[in-house]
Chain A
Amino acid sequence: MKLKGAQIIVKCIEEQGIDTVYGYPGGTILDIFDALYEERDRLTQILTCHEQGACHAADGYARATGKTGVVIATSGPGATNLVTGIATAYMDSVPLVAITGNVGRSMLGRDSFQEVDITGITIPITKHNFMVKNPDELVSTLRKAFFIASTGRPGPVLVDVPKDVQQTMLDYEPAEPVRSKPYFSENKHVENAISLINEAKRPILYVGGGCIASGASDALVAFSEKLNAPVTASTMGLGCFPASHPNYLGLIGMHGMSNVAEAMQKADLIIAVGCRFDDRVAGDRTCFCPNAKKVHIDIDLAELGKNVSPDVGVLSDARLALEAMLPRVDAKKDTAWISECRDRKAHDFLLGSDGKLCPIRIIKAVQRLGDPEKVIATDVGQHQMWVAQAYEFERPRKFISSCGLGTMGYGMGASIGACMGSGKQTVLFTGDGSFHMNFNEVVTAAKLGLDITVVIMDNHTLGMVRQWQTLFYNRHYSSTDINYPTDFVKLAEALGEKGFRLERNEDIDKVIGEAFATKGVKLIDCIIDKDEFVLPMIPPGKNFDAILATKPVIK
């Protein structure tokens, strides 16, 4: 059948089983938006306030559902506004397809109005990108884009389509989406990994986002139980192992729990699954747990040995590797190691004994109240780390956060996508700094009537930066005391939504309960102290032995 290029693009999105796309129209993408209008009964199209918000929304949708997120934007500024969102998805291996319009082929390379070389700009932050210069390649390029985005280690792919290509009449035949099989190969590395595991007395599982992408949760639980091995998760891995499981120790890394730090130092084998020894985990990668052997399982060959050299690297899908190894590892009868780790499970949260409003208590209340299946999104900063430490995630795809890139302003857009994708109650934890970056998207959420509760940890400062300035920069609070005059309650009201202010620990349950019982978007302005710290903390560039568990006395 003959269709316009733009219609084919929309058909190719539908082929993938995707029901929602995010975007913002403009001159060179009008044909695609026209095609979206025709297909509006089959494909929901969400207009955000800014392309960055659209990109984060598509990313949040992808993280919450496991499907590929789609964002559509125009050329020039529309395309460049996607860049932060694409980089965010790239760092966290989120499957995303970004479709941008560009000026017609005869206008390319002439600095035409709203022309930008977006494929050139996004080379380092995409798995791959395309410019469709030959209309005959449009269909195959789009199908390839979706394939690349979701195969192996997922990631973003950008397809740039000149306007006249969108307008060309082309042949189109529907096709089933091509999915790659998860990769596993039986080889000597698997054998070696099994023998290291069987020799280990004190193994620990360090798990990351790869376990969520591959759906390894059940395999992980079985593995941990058979080995009596404690489990620690990176921020990307939160939820892939149920936090209520007795073998779960908590978050690893710069703001990981002290019991994790202790267990990592005592372990004789680190089984790293679907993670990448990021510098926020291995502060000093040259001497990371030098006394422990390391088995690293990852689907990306380049990760094996990139930061920390493992004794055995297994190139494999996380779930398949665990499932293949499970029957061949010896069950550990000895429970001394796991009991030792469990004993230490006294988490060192700052529970605000000083009577000031306590962020951890707020997070715990959010966890306790409302829908147990709710999705939690965050922005970036102290609030993000408090959530990562204290919220007990039972299931994967419930923690939506920019972990690798650390994108402030990510949360509001992402919570829209997560809420729509999951169809569940969604809570966004943010700070007044992060929230001010992109709170334009509250308008989108309000317009859509989404059930999103925005919990703003409001300390009138950039808390995480302030914490570093306190610890490492002689308390020179340079450009951190933001003191924006925004009244968040009135802001909510301006959008026809409800705003709350929370100032005392006694009111936490009442305010959150009330907010959860209210329809639509809710803002809760939580007035917290400027000098709350995220603790424990391992200073940058250091390893577990340098952990600060309590607030140092600063003269």
Chain B
Amino acid sequence: MNEKTMKHIITALVTNRSGVLTRISGLFARRGYNIDSLSVCNTNNPDMSRMTIVALGTDDEINQIVRQLDKLWDCHKIRVLKPNECVKRELLLIKVSVPAEKRPEVESTANMMKVKFIDVGASSVTCEMTGEPNKIDKFIELMQPYGILELARTGITALSRGEEILDDLTDYNEEISR
């Protein structure tokens, strides 16, 4: 058990129905846990949504919140993803103030980091980047000197590596009690 406060990635399959997001996020709020990022999407099963939640806490705290989440009737499967046993990505859209003469300079940085230009204005460019969150942080840092006009990032979405499928796993509480 790690007593340090760290970022943890929680992945969950939840009922695809209005109001479920409130139940999940509300539980974090009222039990005093912070959500760093949260992304929700449809899945190959129309009855289920996948939520990827990044939360800050010690191992004990995250364990407690996962147990509380697992009690929600709308939360079907839930796991904490181990950092080196999952693939995680985030999407960034960033609009940077770039006069025409500086565009090549930005373009070469972008190319090096596999960032695409998706819109160009008279004095701005909008880039798209997909990657691990720390790479995205790095790119944002590099764009800082030009002047960031606005940005949007999706928060992490993640899947476990290998053949393991969340839907096929046993219930969290059953696994814990083995």
Contact = CB atoms under 8 A, between A and B. Distances in A.
A300 B172 CA distance: 12
A306 interface: yes
B63 A148 contact: no
A294 interface: no
A302 B68 contact: yes
Interface residues of A, number: 20
Contacts of A124: 26-27, 30
Contacts of A123: 22-23, 26
Contacts of A189: 177
B73 A128 contact: yes
Interface of A is mostly: mixed
B7 interface: no
A301 interface: yes
Contacts of B176: 301, 315
A37 B71 CA distance: 37
A168 interface: no
Contacts of B73: 127-128, 148
B119 to A, nearest CB: 37
Given A120-B22, A123-B22, A306 B64 contact: yes
Nearest to A304: B67
Given A127-B73, A185-B177, A188-B178, A301 B23 contact: no
B46 interface: no
Interface string B57-92: 000100110011011111000000000000000000
Interface string A118-159: 011001100110000000000000000000100000000000
A94 B23 CA distance: 21
A305 B60 contact: yes
A305 B63 contact: yes
Interface string A281-306: 00000000000000000001110111
B19 A119 contact: yes
Interface in B1-59: 19, 22-23, 26-27, 30
B173 interface: yes
Contacts of A148: 73
A85 to B, nearest CB: 19
Contact of A187 (B19, B23, B178): B178
Nearest to A153: B71
Most B Cβ at <10 Å: residue of A124, A188, A189 = A124
B73 to A, nearest CB: 4
A305 B27 CA distance: 18
Nearest to A133: B18
A433 B21 CA distance: 41
A124 B29 CA distance: 10
Nearest to A152: B71
A185 B176 CA distance: 11
Contacts of A304: 67
Nearest to B171: A301
Contacts of A315: 173, 176-177
Nearest to A157: B73
Contacts of A127: 71, 73
Given A123-B22, A123-B23, A123-B26, A302 B71 contact: yes
Contacts of B173: 301, 315
Nearest to A306: B64
Q: 10 nearest interchain CB pairs? A: A302-B67, A128-B73, A301-B173, A315-B177, A301-B67, A302-B68, A185-B177, A124-B30, A187-B177, A187-B178
